[in-house]
Amino acid sequence: MVKNKYTSIYSKLVLLIEEGKYEPGDTLPSEHELCAQFDTSRETIRKSLNLLAQNGYIQKVRGKGSVVLDHSKFEFPVSGLTSFKELANQLGKDFQTHVHELVVQQADSPVRERLNCKKTDNLWKITRTRVIAGEGIILDKDYIRQDIVPGLTKSICENSIYDYIENQLQLEISFAKKEIIVETVTEEDQQLLDLQGHQQVVVIRSYVYLSDATLFQFTESRHRPDKFQFVDFARRTKV
């Protein structure tokens, strides 16, 4: 994949940190040295380092340098915008996706309000369960605008919708707003998940946007509580 200079330098530095070339507590080479190593300007290096800082790999300290953080402590990055398949691949777990429903329907009122679309707009409704080690753990209910994402098939839904959107349709998924709450189980949860007596599920509602700021997807992801984990890296923003 073709990238610009500073993201490719970022990726190389991430690799070096994950390989252990730079260990937690170490300081990276100074910006000046990195300029020489990568044969580029200081501003470009600084953009790469800011990416590292944003994603929790380093902490920059004025006068000292860029201190490497213990990024591995949280090996389960559910934060950010990562598809289930990308996640499962990273973890190397035994998993399957079952597609229960894949239909086109007109937006009914509760979803229409969430997706901010017209009554006549056609929406994909996709219901899937994620099966890990033989147990139905996650129930995903997706609503996707068909005019933006046409041509969905069962096979695509079993693999990765994100992969299809980004690589086949060449659309750019950009950001999402997420909300995490706990709800009591519904009849659908009980039918499609192996709840093992749990009376509540953790629900993640996501509103997903393209890079031109159009909202195209609403997802409700319902997790069995004992298998749920969310990890976040947060920087303090002063008022």
Name residues contacting DNA, limited to 19-48 (CB under 7 A): 27-28, 30-33, 40-44, 46-47
Q: Which of 5, 98, 125, 178 binds a copy of itself (CB under 8 A)?
A: 178
Give yes or no for residue 1 binding a copy of itself (CB under 8 A). Answer: yes
Count of other CB atoms within 10 angstroms of residue 2: 4
User: What does 28 bind: DNA, a copy of itself, none (CB cut-off 5 to 8 Å by kind)?
Assistant: DNA
Name residues contacting a copy of itself, limited to 48-77 (CB under 8 A): 54-56, 59, 61, 64, 67, 69, 73-74
**Could you tell me if 164 and 152 are in contact, meaning their C-beta atoms sit under 8 angstroms apart?**
yes
According to DSSP, the residues that pair with 136 across neighbouring strands are 131
Secondary structure class of 144 (helix, strand, coil): strand
**Could you tell me if 115 and 65 are in contact, meaning their C-beta atoms sit under 8 angstroms apart?**
no
Cα separation, 13 vs 3, whole angstroms = 15
Q: How far is the CB of 181 from a copy of itself (least distance, A)?
A: 5
User: What does 81 bind: DNA, a copy of itself, none (CB cut-off 5 to 8 Å by kind)?
Assistant: a copy of itself
DSSP element (H, E) containing 19? helix 5-19
User: What does 176 bind: a copy of itself, DNA, none (CB cut-off 5 to 8 Å by kind)?
Assistant: a copy of itself
Q: Which of 16, 37, 54, 64 binds DNA (CB under 7 A)?
A: 64
Structure tokens at 38: 């990568």
**Could you tell me if 127 and 141 are in contact, meaning their C-beta atoms sit under 8 angstroms apart?**
yes
Give yes or no for residue 228 binding a copy of itself (CB under 8 A). Answer: yes
User: What does 40 bind: a copy of itself, DNA, none (CB cut-off 5 to 8 Å by kind)?
Assistant: DNA
**Could you tell me if 143 and 219 are in contact, meaning their C-beta atoms sit under 8 angstroms apart?**
yes
Give yes or no for residue 66 binding DNA (CB under 7 A). Answer: yes
Q: How far is the CB of 109 from DNA (least distance, A)?
A: 30
Structure tokens at 158: 């079993």
Q: Which of 23, 25, 63, 234 binds DNA (CB under 7 A)?
A: 63
For residue 178, count CB atoms less than 10 angstroms from its CB and return exposed for 0-12, middle for 13-18, buried for 19 or more. middle
**Could you tell me if 175 and 209 are in contact, meaning their C-beta atoms sit under 8 angstroms apart?**
yes
Count of other CB atoms within 10 angstroms of residue 48: 23
> Which residues sit at the interface with DNA, rule CB under 7 A?
4-6, 27-28, 30-33, 40-44, 46-47, 49, 60-66, 212
> Which residues sit at the interface with a copy of itself, rule CB under 8 A?
1, 3, 7, 11, 54-56, 59, 61, 64, 67, 69, 73-74, 79-81, 173-182, 199-200, 202, 207, 209, 211-213, 225-226, 228-239
